A and B are shown apart, each in its own frame.
Chain A
Amino acid sequence: MSDKDTASINRNRAVDVALLVYIVLGYAFVFAPIAASFVFSFNSDRFPSIPLGHFSLEWYQAVAGDPLVWQGLRNTLFVGVTVGVIATALGFGAAYTDYRYRFFGKQVYLALALIPPTIPVVILGLAMLAYLSRISLSGNALSVIIAHVVICAPFAMAIIRLRLSQMDPDLEAAAWNLGASEWAAMRHVIVPFAKPAIFGALFITMAVSFDEFAIAWFVSGLNETLPVKVLGFLQGQVSPRINAIGTFVFVTSMTLVILAQILLTGRGAKDRPASDE
């Protein structure tokens, strides 16, 4: 209460320090489960708790020796890469459409391009399962790919749209005036400019697909992806193996997200004026 407001802006050391501590606590809360999974994956105890046992790789060995885990990993990677490529391509098309065209019903088009991730995954999972099994597409990797593209394409669309909005709209028109066809302008002006966002979107959509378990669980049938395997493990008993798989999952998606962010913020902001094509 006895705050000594000294200079221009409200500054109070105690409040500032308290707020900084609060930030640290917030991040601690967010990263605690990730850190715990990492630490306990190398811990020898069967029931993870403190004090720690000794360093051990046995859970990794147990996981590596499980053919079902490898099967799940293969499925996940196959699905993730395919979804990333398709979703990024669709998202790019939608972002370019929004950037360049105005047409009747555009609001509806944009709604379809952006809303799917906000629908709860249980509902989408059920709807997908019912619909895809009706048209005989459920219970395989293809059904997971179909469903994941639906929720991943909007992320790609948003990321690429953001990048296009940084582009001078006259640039494309200038290319046309200089005699480039629409296709040539796309190839030599738009795509090079959007390239960091395209790769960013690719990595983000792969990460989203890689971590998505609920819809995959509904529609995958026997071709389970790795996160669905984890869900299966969870229904069993507590096992440090999940920490080993979890650490692998965390490292993979963190790598993808970090790469994407470096592409989107680092380079994206800097090479703005120079369109060197």
Chain B
Amino acid sequence: MRRPLSLYGLTFSLPLLVWQVLFFVFPLVFLVALSFWTVKNFRMQPDFDGVNWATMYGRAVFWQAYGTTFALAAAASVLVSVLAFPCSYAISFKLSDTARSWAVFLMVIPFFTSYLVRVYSWQIFLSDAGIVNVMLGWVGLGPYTLLNTVGATMIGYLTLTFPLVVLLQLFSLVFIDRTLIEAAHNLRCGRLRTVFAVIIPSARVGLVIAALFAFILSFGDFVSPIYLGGGDPTTLSILITDTTKSGQQWPRAAVIALTMIGTLLAVAFAAVRFAYKGRTK
């Protein structure tokens, strides 16, 4: 507050700034430069050539993957929001304080445990002779092909996003003014109507932000589409890993990556606009 420039203050402020500029901003800026480089004889060389952009944007495969990825991520974010809402609603309104903190405690754990291994584990459930098909067999159904389908990819996205979305929804629901709900009830507002007319509008910012995070996470994920979806249909993240790991076409991968960043920025901007629409504060 007082003197902004002192050795003391800089000791604490500068390290993070330097680190993030050097290893976060610079790599992203370099990605932009890289997208204009050219590849000759399997070697990249600095250049200023729009050929990578033209090549990638001229390919039907790219736009197909773009559409697929966008649709899958949008579907995942709607689906997880809808599925998570009753859970976070129940946790915030139907549980005691103690039970609620346990619920939060438990939901934080999977958010920080290996997503990769959890996806592998789903293969045990979904494979042709897996747990789900065996159980369906007991009641005389199946077996169905569950693995390597879009549905399996969706389960992977849900695994990735469900804990975070529940937590974010929960934090917006917990802070709703309870007197609003009582008022609605006193005015003879039914249960469902209270949810849609009072609770969801009051928690809108949190709900939209939660859906946005679900979109961002699913849009960039490459594990579920490969290991649960079988790599088909191809998503942008699969295109990036393939293009990067097989050969020297990094400039083209950079084009894909930058297109993804642009899309995410646009979606985030639109979502935040929508979340705060009509809000005065």
Contact = CB atoms under 8 A, between A and B. Distances in A.
Nearest to A40: B124
Interface string A226-264: 010011001000100011011001100110111001000
A8 B158 CA distance: 37
A257 B89 CA distance: 25
Nearest to B138: A50
B131 A246 contact: no
A153 B20 contact: yes
Interface stretch (B49-57, B58-66, B110-118, B200-208): B110-118
A227 B113 CA distance: 11
Given A122-B237, A211-B115, A130 B31 contact: yes
B19 to A, nearest CB: 6
A120 B220 contact: yes
Contact of A249 (B114, B119, B241): B114
A123 B90 contact: no
B20 A116 contact: yes
A122 B120 contact: no
A124 to B, nearest CB: 8
B88 to A, nearest CB: 9
A91 interface: yes
Given A9-B185, A130-B34, A234 B24 contact: no
A116 B241 CA distance: 20
A242 B145 CA distance: 23
A202 interface: no
B30 interface: yes
A2 interface: no
Nearest to B1: A102
Nearest to B14: A93
B27 A128 contact: yes
Contacts of A250: 113-114, 117
Interface string A114-125: 001011111111
Contact of B240 (A31, A96, A126, A208): A126
Interface stretch (A58-66, A67-75, A144-152): A144-152
B117 A126 contact: no
Interface centre among B124, B125, B219 (most CB of A within 10 A): B124
Contacts of A93: 11-16
Interface residues of A, number: 92
Nearest to B194: A10
Nearest to A124: B27
Contacts of A182: 6, 8
Contact of A112 (B25, B89, B116, B237): B25
A49 B166 contact: no
Interface in A75-102: 89-94, 96-97, 100-102
Nearest to B106: A27
A131 to B, nearest CB: 4
B216 A234 contact: no
A207 interface: yes
Interface in B205-233: 213, 216-217, 219-223, 227
B120 A234 contact: yes
A48 B124 contact: yes
B108 interface: yes
Interface string B80-104: 0001101101110011000001010
Contacts of A214: 222-223
A197 to B, nearest CB: 15
B250 interface: yes
Given A30-B163, A182-B6, 6 more contacts: A29-B162, A37-B121, A47-B127, A49-B130, A150-B19, A157-B16
30 contacts: A8-B182, A9-B185, A23-B94, A23-B95, A32-B121, A34-B113, A36-B125, A49-B131, A90-B19, A91-B16, A92-B12, A97-B9, A122-B222, A122-B257, A123-B260, A127-B257, A128-B27, A130-B27, A130-B250, A131-B23, A149-B23, A150-B19, A150-B23, A183-B8, A208-B112, A213-B114, A213-B116, A242-B120, A246-B117, A249-B117
